[in-house]
Amino acid sequence: MDGFRWDYTNNVETPNFDAIEKMGVKAESMQVSFPSKTFPNHYTLVTGLVPDHHGIVNNTFYAPQYNQVYSIRDREAVSDGKFYGGEPIWNTAEKQGIKAASYFWVGSEADIQGMRPSYWKPYDHDFDFYQRADSVISWLSLEEGKRPQMISWYVAEPDGIGHHYGPKSPQADSAIRALDALLGYFIKKLSNHPLADQVNVIVTSDHGMATISEERSILLNQYLKKEWVKYALGGNPIYNIQAEDGYYDSIYLALEDVAGLKIFKNPELPAHLNYGTNENCLDFTIVADSSFSIMKKAPRRDYGMGTHGYDISNKDMNAIFYAYGPAFKNGYQQAMFSNTSVYPLMCEVLGIIPAPNDGNLDEVKSMLK
């Protein structure tokens, strides 16, 4: 569930999330990987690699190796496997004789290592969430030789609501109630399925959401001259910048003392961010301080009330993690852990050997029976 902040279920009644907490596992929260953006963290969840290692370093970035820009809105780039490093869980599964399926997940449309999941869908943002749930159940109903044993599926909320209205708004509360109802629908459908007692379910998110305001906005065009910058790609509150020849120092000096942001020479970012060594990070990474915004220029439309992408030490960026099924303990409270460990956890549950990754199974295996 995109943009589902770790503490959203504390704000409203969520009987179906609460049901999983009783019959399975709930993590206090899950720390995401930097940058706390959608595409980098979706791909981290299925590879166990931090974005700096799998290469999807931002929602939009320039890849010097290919002299090409990757953007989440560029369908051709999104489905081009050359941008995706590491090995996604569906490839790990398929290589070891387990069919996989994906109903919208970053990377699932791309030919990665010459492979795709056995079943996948081109992304359709407006496709009904309940129909997605029905399709997942239908995959489980296929005859044994065709049935996938590893399924990933995605819904785009509450991210959009959080961006527009803010994470502490009545609209966000309504979105959480609606998603809890969707979860209840899925749980009930699955409970009535012949394979119900053989299916493990993980419910998680890619990042959280923080409150922002127009008063705390930094406009880059007030500090950087156009001729200094070759690329400034990403999105509020994090950008990767490549300087034009001769203007490296100009960019750094112009931004190093700006209140509300930090500029880092790559790869000199703080160690806890695990970021900045990949060539896709370019010359500099700039990231706003918590609750501040960075924009290239004043937007033409209204400012939103929420965003994400900040330093992962900001707990507002933390995600949810719930799980239940035959592999998981009942009523177990899991301490905060890194989202890189979801990949080795899934491999353990599936009984397959993980590809090299940055996760730590020891961090999460206590939630398993």
Q: How far apart are CA 138 and CA 146, in angstroms?
A: 11
Give me the active site residues, please: 38
Q: How far apart are CA 261 and CA 322, in angstroms?
A: 34
C-alpha distances out from residue 58 to 154, 164, 340, Å:
19, 21, 16
Dihedral sign (CA 164, 165, 171, 177): positive
C-alpha distances out from residue 208 to 151, 318, 360, Å:
23, 5, 22
Nearest Cα residue to 358 out of 102, 98, 46: 46
Q: How far apart are CA 278 and CA 257, in angstroms?
A: 25
Q: How far apart are CA 37 and CA 51, in angstroms?
A: 10
Q: Which residues contact 122 (CB under 8 A, 6 or more apart)?
A: 79, 109
**Which runs of E-coded beta strand occur in 94-228?**
100-103, 119-120, 150-153, 201-204, 210-211, 217-219
Tokens of 19: 């049901």
Tokens of 208: 């959280």
